[in-house]
Amino acid sequence: MDLILPFKIGDLAEARSLVPGFNGAWFRSKIEDTRVTESGHLEYYLEYIDYTEEAKEWLRVFRMELNPECGNGKSSTSCQIMLRPSFAQWCREGQVPEHFSKSELIVTVCDTWKVGDWVEWLYEDCYWTAKIIKVLTKDVVQVNI
């Protein structure tokens, strides 16, 4: 049976960080290589686009995390995705560029942001998944990570 992989060498992707201070942030990366470990885990060898001084590293696509005791007094585990496709370019309705590559993905927003919407916030050269908690102006919101 052939192995169907979500990414191929040369693809752009975003890798989740577990580094203190950047835990949960997403960094732009390029797939340099791929492998399946002896234990059966799928890993990708990544180059970080915005941090060229960082060493390339192998990253598992999924990571199991032990969650501390929930309200019921029991611990649980959850699976976190550590690699995702690159974030698409966003445009407001009526502002989509006339010319762009056929392979380029563009998302058109035709609604206004509201409290409770989930957004990707670009801060310190990485993306953070955040929730809008307050709309300040048409183009400015307050978020909670």
pLDDT (tens digit per residue) in 35-90: 999 998 899 999 998 888 889 999 998 887 766 555 555 656 777 889 988 766 66
Site of tokens 């942001």: 113
At 81 the pLDDT is: 85
Average pLDDT of 117-144? 82
| Helix/strand/coil for 129 | strand
- Please state, in angstroms and rounded to a whole number, the distance separating the CA atoms of residues 94 and 109: 9
At 1 the pLDDT is: 47
**13 CB-contact burial (10 Å; exposed 0-12 / middle 13-18 / buried 19+):** buried
Angle at 59 between CA 56 and CA 62, to 5 degrees: 165
Task: Give the E-state strand segments of 76-117 in sequence order.
Answer: 76-81, 83-85, 89-92, 106-109
Average pLDDT, the chain: 78
At 10 the pLDDT is: 92
Contact yes or no for 3/10 (Cβ under 8 A): no
**In whole angstroms, how far apart are CA 122 and each of 14, 48, 133?**
13, 16, 17
At 127 the pLDDT is: 77
At 124 the pLDDT is: 75
62-67/76-81 β-pairing = antiparallel
pLDDT exceeds 90 at position 113: no
